[in-house]
Structure 1
């Protein structure tokens, strides 16, 4: 089938459709950076190219009638108004970008429509928005079917639920596409080792589990973060009865102030030698009261600044508001601060960095490293091959590549649907 790629982004629809043997004859994308990636990845020579879909006239769309078998697109979901005179789709969908798909379909009359949107479209405005869409397609002469599919069931470790809508032109209707099940598809179950999948931006996921749904990730540290082991063989540890041990048998323990704004300290400390009454506290317990530790316990290290020559202290010196100076450091375990590359100087062995008011600044180095996903990994989570990412990377910045991944569709899901088209 020959298809027109609307709201094309970086070509997730296109890649899946082409893998299933279909041919693109034109595309439309308003974002210039997405177009740069699209044209770097795909051979668009000789194709129709549109930018702002709202500026394409009905007459121009009609020139494609008879040359386009399918229109595809993941249209942005703006709120549909149910007020007004309710005179059909021209009244109820005008002002939304779904109207642009409806307008193109009315002029081109392709045999098939292939649309995608967020799962929330089904329940938006108590279901009236979705009912308007289906009614609009009916008025245009299309019988619709739809299904919610999750990317995690199609070989990519991303929890991404989307609703897919197929419109069949009456009189030229092909076979039904949905439902797609494990029995009739190549769908693969991906094990989710995380529970709940909350949306917090500072949530850390296991590298063995599922990524949360990718969004445009524009600032605020919204990229999914994973914890990866970095223990070397000589630092490997084992567990016994809930306590952690190094391979050489020396016990390790953690003390914590049980407050989400507090500091977590970790080290190989003998509590009986440090005024802690011989008690061992694990990461689920409370820290004992801190003392001046007259013995050989943790010390407060002050870095020199100005007239202050610095030094090690039993009692913490006066705290200053300029936390970036890192004047007061606790010499105990390996603690790091998760900040930008500009200020991050890696793990500070035996020292804590200066505490700040933000709860995300201090972290514990315990044989793992927490990092955000790279742009390449985000593209992989959408099913794009590395060669496609490499071409896009040549023409776009990382911030744009993150955004483009979040805005795309998952290629293996598109392929699984597209291979059913006749």
Structure 2
């Protein structure tokens, strides 16, 4: 059987074994089997004894491999990273989403020792690609207790909504607070700060929306910088467009800092050293030749979008659909793309335009997916969720090659210190 078929079948079998566990047990067990970190060992072995030693030999083989010294079939997953002791540095992946930071930093020899992501569907995608179920709510001490004591780099694309232009507008219309006053999301940055203070990694690498810099007349960003400075870390940031790496206009605020106790008071991160290729990418390069008919907009929806755009144009507003020039780049893909695909519509020779397929969205964010942008069917991103969830996940994701490019400079600093 083709290896590209066998591996997903192994993942399915392994997931069926994990489904008997609670969410935190899944996270503990898979983290132990992937990372071999001491912080997971005792609880993981208890889980194994409790749930799997009473299973049949056939079950144990299908779920975790031949014996307990090699419990996990790591090669079942395309992006499992370096083994313990073979890494150049270690990092943790907070607000992990579908693993854009993880894939980027593993490319430079980094080994992920902890991941956290609260969305259960994103957890499924993360597991399918990295062999690890992320822990859930990072605000809970029951989750934070599993972060290894020592690691080199903290990574995180903390939630965008409290600081985004769209998010602020929506919350204002509902009479709700935003930014750091948002009780559910806005304070998540302070959990990052707490983890920095508690574990003292050498560096951090954060990502957020472009509007973070200007939110609340710059007050939000000022609080972030001052908080980081109080912890004894440097702070440098830049807004960079993903168009240098993928055919998409996607500006994001990237933030990097180093522990001054390790690197000295004058340490800084030079974003000018990040290699930005020529922005000559074309949408046509990531399109599938024969997308399914279900991705074509219905005549009713297409007519509605045209009428909606016309109405707002007459009012002087800029709202409307985005019909893509195939030799150009797209607008920014959002998490709402699943609703109507309006911001990125692909023209067709006849009839209505169509949405991007989830596989095209994957490529648009720079993830390798066979055969669109990689010739390797084994190292190809897996999409185990519904189209709706996939659109949400890719709409929330980082542009992975951009993170990898900035990460290269961070990795060099970590490995030369």
Provide the TM-score with structure 1 as the length reference: 0.57
Q: Which 5+ residue runs of structure 2 have no aligned equivalent?
A: 1-88, 164-179, 284-316, 371-377
Instruction: Provide Cα deviations, 1:324-363, integer angstroms capped at 9, x if missing partner.
Output: xxxxxxxxxxxx5x4xxxxxxxxxxxxxxxxxxxxxxxxx
Aligned match of 1:418:
407
Answer yes or no: is 1:7 the counterpart of 2:91: no
Answer yes or no: is 1:50 the counterpart of 2:135: yes
The number of aligned residues is 265
After superposition, the Cα gap between the structure-2 partners of 1:404 and 1:77, relative to the gap in structure 1 and judged at 3 Å, is closer
Q: What is the CA-CA distance between 1:228 and the residue it aligns to?
A: 3.8
Answer yes or no: is 1:211 the counterpart of 2:330: yes
Root-mean-square deviation over aligned CA pairs? 3.2
Answer yes or no: is 1:168 the counterpart of 2:288: no
After superposition, the Cα gap between the structure-2 partners of 1:138 and 1:205, relative to the gap in structure 1 and judged at 3 Å, is same
The answer to whether the Cα contact below 8 Å between 1:206 and 1:228 also exists between their aligned partners in 2 is no
Q: What is the CA-CA distance between 1:127 and the residue it aligns to?
A: 0.3
The answer to whether the Cα contact below 8 Å between 2:330 and 2:344 also exists between their aligned partners in 1 is yes
User: 1:338-417 maps to which residues of 2 (within 5 A)?
Assistant: 338=352, 370-387=353-370, 392-393=382-383, 395-417=384-406
The answer to whether the Cα contact below 8 Å between 2:368 and 2:381 also exists between their aligned partners in 1 is no
The answer to whether the Cα contact below 8 Å between 1:9 and 1:404 also exists between their aligned partners in 2 is yes
The structure carrying a bigger strand percent of its residues is: 1
Aligned match of 2:344:
224
Provide the TM-score with structure 2 as the length reference: 0.58
Q: Rg larger in 1 or in 2?
A: 1
Q: What is the CA-CA distance between 1:223 and the residue it aligns to?
A: 5.4
Cα distance in structure 1, aligned partners of 2:195 and 2:111: 19
The answer to whether the Cα contact below 8 Å between 1:158 and 1:213 also exists between their aligned partners in 2 is yes
After superposition, the Cα gap between the structure-2 partners of 1:204 and 1:73, relative to the gap in structure 1 and judged at 3 Å, is same
User: Counterpart of 2:409 in 1: which secondary structure?
Assistant: coil
Q: Match for 1:60 among 131, 136, 145?
A: 145
User: 1:226-241 maps to which residues of 2 (within 5 A)?
Assistant: 226-229=346-349
Instruction: Provide Cα deviations, 1:260-318, integer angstroms capped at 9, x if missing partner.
Output: xxxxxxxxxxxxxxxxxxxxxxxxxxxxxxxxxxxxxxxxxxxxxxxxxxxxxxxxxxx
Aligned match of 1:158:
248
Aligned match of 2:120:
32
Cα distance in structure 1, aligned partners of 2:282 and 2:135: 40
User: Counterpart of 1:147 in 2: which secondary structure?
Assistant: strand
Q: Match for 1:124 among 210, 215, 234?
A: 215
Q: Which 5+ residue runs of structure 1 have no aligned equivalent?
A: 81-88, 231-335, 339-369
After superposition, the Cα gap between the structure-2 partners of 1:51 and 1:226, relative to the gap in structure 1 and judged at 3 Å, is same
Aligned match of 1:72:
155
User: Counterpart of 2:128 in 1: which secondary structure?
Assistant: helix
Aligned match of 1:202:
321
Which gives a bigger RCO, structure 1 or 2 (Cα 8 Å, sep 6+)? 1
Q: What is the CA-CA distance between 1:95 and the residue it aligns to?
A: 5.6
